[in-house]
Structure 1
Amino acid sequence: MSEHMTREQLDAAAKVELEKINALPKPLKPKDKTAIPAQPMPQLEPSYRARVMEEVAQGYTEAQAIVEANRCLNCKKPFCVESCPVHIDIPAFIAKIAEGDFKAAIAKIKETSLLPAICGRVCPQERQCQMNCTMGKMHKDVNQAVAIGRLERFAADYERNNGGASVPAVKPATGKKVAVIGSGPAGLVVAADVRREGHDVTIFEAFHKLGGVVRYGIPEFRLPKKIVDKEIESLAAMGVKFETNFVIGRTRKLKDLIEKDGFDAVFVGTGAGLPLFMNIEGENLVGVFAANEYLTRANLMRAYDKENADTPMWPGKNVVVLGGGNVAMDAARMALRLGAEKVRIIYRRSMNELPARKEEVLHAQEEGVEFCVLQNPAKILGDEAGHVRGMLVDKYELGEPDEKGRPRPVKVEGASFEIECDTVLVAIGNGSNPLISNTTPELSVDKKGHILLEDATANKTFMEKVYAGGDIVLGAATVILAMGEGRRAAAGINEFLKK
C-alpha cells in the first residue's frame, strides 16, 4: 500500500499542479488535460480512523477540486450525463468548478439533484457516470476517469460551509395533498419535487428520525448524519411536513390516507429493509445478527456513543461478516469501531467478484479487516449457553459462469474446517418489507415483494392514486437510482394532479 499523505500534503501538491495549468495557453488542449494527474481523495490515516467514527474521506481542497475539474474534456456528447440516473449536467457544473465559481457549480447540480452532498459520498460513480467518462477510457482505467462524485461532494460541501444551502422556490398553493411514505432518498426527492409545484406534502416515517437508509444503513464514518439533517432542513424550510413513528399498515392503512384523510396522491418509498438469512444451522444462536440490525443500532441509535447512548450492543471481539457487498463492508468496519479485535469477511467467490465498491474494499483492508474468499459457512457452532463459539466453513472454487455471467462457486468436497468467532453478521442481501403489501391487497407485487408498476414512465402502481419507487420497486439499489425513481414518480404525480 502506498504511503499515506495528509490533506495538507495533497493540497500543496495540487497547488503546484495548478500553477502549471495556469501557465498553459487557454483553452487547454485535450493533450494538456490528459497530462493532469488525477487527484487522490484526502483520507484519515488508517490505523487512527479504524477506531473512531470521524469521516474517513475528508473531501477535496479548493486547489484539488480546480485541478481535477480541469481534467474534464467537456465532450460534445457527454456519455457521463447519459449514465447518471438523474441526468445532472456534469460537464457544466465541472466547468464552473474549473473556473473557481463554486456557487454556480452547486446551482447547476441542484437543477436536477436534491442530495448532492449524500450522492457525492455514497453513490458508486465508477459504475455509473464515471464508467463512461472519456478521460477514463483514454487512460483505459476507470480510476483515471474525472472524479465526478468527488467534485459533486466538493460543491455541496462548499455551499454548506459558506452560507448554507438555498431553499428551492415553491409555487402558490394548489390545495392538493400528497402523502410520501418513507423518508429515504426516493421519498425526499418526491417530497421536494411535488412541493415545488405548490402541493401540500407530508412525509410519514416509521422510525423516530428521518433519512431512511442513508441514516440507519450508512455509517457515520462514510456519511456524517449532520449532512442528512441539513438536506432534510431544506425540505422543512420549503414547508414539507413530517410524521415520525408512523407505520403505514399499522398506525394507519394506506387506503385510509386516500379515503379518510383526503390525500390526493400517495408515494410509497419504504425501501428493502427485510434482512435475508442463509438458513443454516446455528443462525438462532446468541451473537448472530442481520447486518441491518447491527448497523441500525449503531447508526440510528448511536450505539458507538457509549457515554450518551444506552443502546444495547453485543460486545463482539471476534467477528465474522457473511457477504461481499457494501453492507458487509460497512458492518465489518463498524465492528472495528465498536471494539472488535478481529474482523473477517467470508465470501464464496474471489476478490475479483466482490460486489462492493473497490474504494470500500480498499478502506476495509487498510483498516485491518481480513478477507476470506472462496469460503462459505456450512454451520454456526454454539456453546452450552447457546452463544456463538465458532463456525464450520466449506472451501469453494470457481466453476462455469452463472446466468449473470459470474463464475459459479463450487464446493470443494472434503475441505471443510472450523474457525473460532463470537459474533456473526449476516449481510447477504435484503428483501422488501411486506407490511404495506400485506395490508393493501389492491397493490400488485412480485414473488419477492417488490411493488409492480402499471406505468413505469411515471412509477404509477396498479392502485389508483398510488405511486412507488426506490428499493421497494427495484430491490436493493443505490441512492442515485432511488432518486431517479423518485424524480419520475414526482413528475407522474404532478401531471396527475394537474388533470
Structure 2
Amino acid sequence: MSYIQPEQLAEQARSLLDEYLPKVSSLKVKERQKIPAQEMPTQDPIVRSANMEEVALGYSFEQAQLEAIRCLQCPKQNCIEGCPVKIDIPRFIHHIAQGEMEQAIAVLKETTLLPAVCGRVCPQEKQCQLHCTLGKALKDVDKSVAIGRLERFVADWERINGKTVIPAVKPATGKKVAVVGSGPAGLVVAADCRREGHHVTIFEAFHKLGGVLRYGIPEFRLPNDIIDNEIETLKAMGVEIKTNFVVGRTRKLIDLIEKDGYDAVFVGTGAGLPIFMGIEGENLVGVFSANEYLTRANLMKAFEKRADTPIYPSRKVMVLGGGNVAMDASRMAKRLGAGTVYVVYRRTENEMPARKEEVLHAKEEGVEFLFLQNARRVVGDSQGRVIGVECVRYELGEPDASGRRAPVLIPNSEFVMEVDTVIVAVGNGSNPLISQTTPQLAVNKRGNILVDETQKTSVDKIFAGGDIVLGAATVILAMGEGRRSAEGINRMLAEGE
C-alpha cells in the first residue's frame, strides 16, 4: 500500500462526511456497509524509522466520526462479549457518530481507566472487532468497525482538550489494599478498589510506573506521556504510589498483611523472566533477550546519544521470533542505528502471531523477514562476540496443538548468516521472585500463580492476575484479570464489614 499523507486522509473523510452526516439517523445497513473503513494516518516510513516519535498519528475528527457512522448498532452487541473488560462499545461509538466526545469518554471510563493505552496496543482484531457484525457481513475482520482506533481517538481528545474525567470515589471504608506491580492488571485493580473507597497503595520495583507498558513497548508505539497521563488519573483519585520497592526483597509479601496491616494484596508482577532457545552460543557477547533489549531502550533511554546506559552498537541484527515483541525489537534495532535487521521465523507469515499492522510497519521501515528458517547455533569469534548465526530451513507439516501448521526440519539445510547481534524474542516466563519468597503460594510447573474463579490465590487475602497467572499475554487480557481480581477483593472486604 502506498503512503498517504494524513491531511489527504482527513480531506477524503471530510468529503464523505458531508454526504453521510445529514442523513445519519436514517442510514440503512447497506448504506453503512458502503462507507469505507478509515485508514490510520501514520508518519512517513522513511522519516519514522530514524526517530522515536509515535508511528500511528490517530484519526482526524472527520475520520473518527465517519468510522463511527459505520457501526450498525446491533441489538446483540457481540463486540462487547469479545471485550475482556466489557466496554459498552456501541454506546461510546454512537456518541462519536453524534459528535459527542465528552459523553463517549464518560462511557469508556465506566469500565476502563486505560483507553488511550488499549486503543493503541490491544489486538482488537482478535477480540472485539473479531465479533463485529459489519466485519462478518463484509467477510473481512479488517473491515470491522475500528473499535480500538475510535477508543484511542476519544482518549486522546480528552487529554488534548483538558477534559480529563476523574472517576468518582466512594467514602473511605478504612480498608487497605496493596497492589504489587504497576502493569495493566495492577493499574486496573488500583482504580477499581479505590473507586469503592479503599485506601490503595501501588508498590513498583522500578523507578517509574507502567510495568510492561513502559519497559516492554517502545515509545513509537506507546508514548510514555500517554502512560503518565493515565497514572495521573490514579493519583488524582488518591492512590498512593511507592516506587523502587521490590516486594519479596524490600518487604516480604506476607508482611504486607501481617506487619503492615493491609486487608488485601494483589500480585501483578508480570512475566518478565526471559526465555532463551537453549542453543549453543547464547552466552556470547551480542546476544540479548528481547526483554532486556527493549528495557534498555525504553526505560533506560539507551536511544539517547548521551544516555548513562548506552546499548550495544549493532550493524546487522537477527531477531528470533514472530510475535509483537519481535516486531518491537526489530523496529527498535533500526532506530538504534542497525543497517540491516532480519526477523527469522520458522513458519510462514500466515502463521505469525504478531498483529498485521505491526508486521506491515516493520516491512515499511526496512526490516527483512526470513520465513521457514530458525537458528541452530550462534557463532562467535575468539573474543566471545557474535559474528554469525547458523540457521536451518523448514517446511510446513500438519497443524500442531495450537492449530498452526507445524514446522518440519529439512535435513542438511544448514547455512550461516553474518550478524553481530542476536535478539531472542520467543517468550517470557513468570517473574519468580514472589513465589520463591512466598513458598506457601501455590504455582504451576511454569511458575504461574494458581488462582480460583475470583482470582484468589492459595493464601488468604492474596489475589493475583495478569501475566503472573496467564503467562505472557495481551494488555487487555491482563486488564480483564485485574477487573475480576478487584471484584473479588471488593466483595471480600464488603463481606468482612
- TM-score interval, smaller chain: over 0.9
Alignment of 1:39-438 (within 5 A): 39-307=38-306, 309-438=307-436
Residue 479 (structure 1) aligned with residue 475 (structure 2): yes
Distance 2:6 2:103 in 1: 25
Give every structure 1 segment of 4 or more consecutive aligned residues whose post-TM-superposition deviation is greater than 4 Å: none
What secondary structure does 2:377 align onto?
strand
**Equivalent position of 2:459 in the other structure:** 463
Q: Gaps spanning 5+ residues in structure 1: where? A: none
What secondary structure does 1:311 align onto?
coil
What secondary structure does 1:178 align onto?
strand
- Deviation by residue 1:324-382 (Cα, 9 ceiling, x = unmatched): 00000000000000000000000000111000001000000010000001001011000
Task: Give the one of 481, 488, 493 matched to 1:492.
Answer: 488
Distance 2:110 2:126 in 1: 23
* Superposed displacement of residue 25, structure 1: 6.7
Contact 2:193 2:490 in 1 (8 A): yes
* Superposed displacement of residue 312, structure 1: 2.5
* Superposed displacement of residue 22, structure 1: 2.7
- Deviation by residue 1:401-421 (Cα, 9 ceiling, x = unmatched): 112221111110011101000
Q: Which amino acid is 1:356 matched to? A: A
* Superposed displacement of residue 98, structure 1: 0.2
What secondary structure does 2:26 align onto?
coil
- Deviation by residue 1:202-260 (Cα, 9 ceiling, x = unmatched): 10001111000000000000000000000001111111111111111111110111101
Q: Which amino acid is 1:373 matched to? A: F
Q: Which amino acid is 2:340 matched to? A: K
Q: Which amino acid is 1:431 matched to? A: G
Distance 2:166 2:19 in 1: 38
Q: CA RMSD in A?
A: 0.8
Distance 2:168 2:131 in 1: 33
* Superposed displacement of residue 139, structure 1: 0.8
Distance 2:298 2:414 in 1: 35
Contact 2:68 2:97 in 1 (8 A): yes
Distance 2:482 2:381 in 1: 48
Distance 1:211 1:476 in 2: 16
Q: Which amino acid is 1:19 matched to? A: D
Q: Gaps spanning 5+ residues in structure 2: where? A: none
Distance 2:32 2:305 in 1: 49
* Superposed displacement of residue 37, structure 1: 0.6
Q: Which amino acid is 1:388 matched to? A: V
What secondary structure does 1:489 align onto?
helix
What secondary structure does 1:461 align onto?
coil
What secondary structure does 1:193 align onto?
helix
What secondary structure does 2:387 align onto?
strand
What secondary structure does 1:446 align onto?
coil
Judge which range, 351-360 or 26-35, deviates more. 26-35
Contact 2:109 2:165 in 1 (8 A): no
TM-score normalised per structure 2: 0.99
What secondary structure does 1:371 align onto?
strand
* Superposed displacement of residue 12, structure 1: 0.3
Q: Which amino acid is 2:485 matched to? A: A
Contact 2:24 2:69 in 1 (8 A): no
What secondary structure does 2:200 align onto?
strand
Distance 2:21 2:375 in 1: 57
Contact 2:109 2:167 in 1 (8 A): no
